[in-house]
Amino acid sequence: MLMTETLYTLRKRSHSARWGKISNWLQFHIVTGLVGPYMVLLHTSWKFNGLAGIVMLMTGVVVISGFIGRYIYTAIPRSADGLEIEAGELQRQIERIEVEINSWLVKQPTSLQGWSNRMLSFSVQTATGAITDPIGNLSYRLNMWTVRRKMDAETRARVDYLSDLLKRRRSLGRQRASLAQARRLMALWHTLHVPIGLALFTAAFIHIGAAIYYATLLR
């Protein structure tokens, strides 16, 4: 848990460091952030009295907060190195995908044009700027499933490429539209997650010090 709290933070704040990608350190942060609390839970023996109980409660809050932060983090587009991608680059990626879609469409036979236009229509109708849009996403998935279900196996195989392009186009569009909102949420999350984590470690060190003092030094 101490590694969880310190190593990823040090790597993220050290812009000139070359010891591993930020994305890999984030994965390490997540793994140790799950393993550590699990070991703390085993250590409690399901007894949550006094300060130890408070430490366990705060550990649970930090873990839940971490899951929320991970979701917000994924809403912000990033490169393979974990660096944020700006709106201009997102727009360029969208334009490249749109060129690919148009290039694919003109090469398809007339029999596929109707299916392709319906898929394009559903993709545009349900695209929103929200970080999360369960209704729009569900509607899109349902409509696409309905369309693909009516296709024969050969047609379905041919439109899989278009389906992948539309999926990438929708994802980039949502990220571009919600980039500012996601960054605000991430900043707000940090103002809550970091102080809770510091309070957790303060209480944990007090608990450890008291345990060593009363269980060892007084004997």
Residue 137's pLDDT is 67
Instruction: Based on the fold, state whether residues 202 and 170 are members of the same structural domain.
Output: no
- Total tally of structural domains belonging to the chain: 2
- 100 or 143: whose pLDDT is higher? 100
What is the C-alpha end-to-end distance of the chain, expressed in Å? 29
Instruction: Based on the fold, state whether residues 106 and 51 are members of the same structural domain.
Output: no
Instruction: Based on the fold, state whether residues 160 and 95 are members of the same structural domain.
Output: yes
Residue 48's pLDDT is 78
Instruction: Based on the fold, state whether residues 93 and 172 are members of the same structural domain.
Output: yes
- Among residues 170, 158, 166, the alpha carbon closest in space to that of 119 is found at 166
pLDDT digit string, tens, across residues 125-184? 555 555 555 566 677 777 777 777 777 787 777 778 888 888 888 777 777 777 777 778
Its domain, for residue 158, covers 89-177
Task: Indicate the residue type of 162.
Answer: L
**In sequence order, which residues have a C-beta less than 8 Å from that of residue 128 and are 6 or more positions away?**
136, 174, 177
Instruction: Based on the fold, state whether residues 33 and 61 are members of the same structural domain.
Output: yes
pTM above 0.95, yes or no: no
**In sequence order, which residues have a C-beta less than 8 Å from that of residue 177 and are 6 or more positions away?**
128, 129, 130
What percent of the chain has a predicted confidence (pLDDT) above 90?
0
| Residue found by looking up tokens 């007084």 in the block | 218
Residue 199's pLDDT is 86
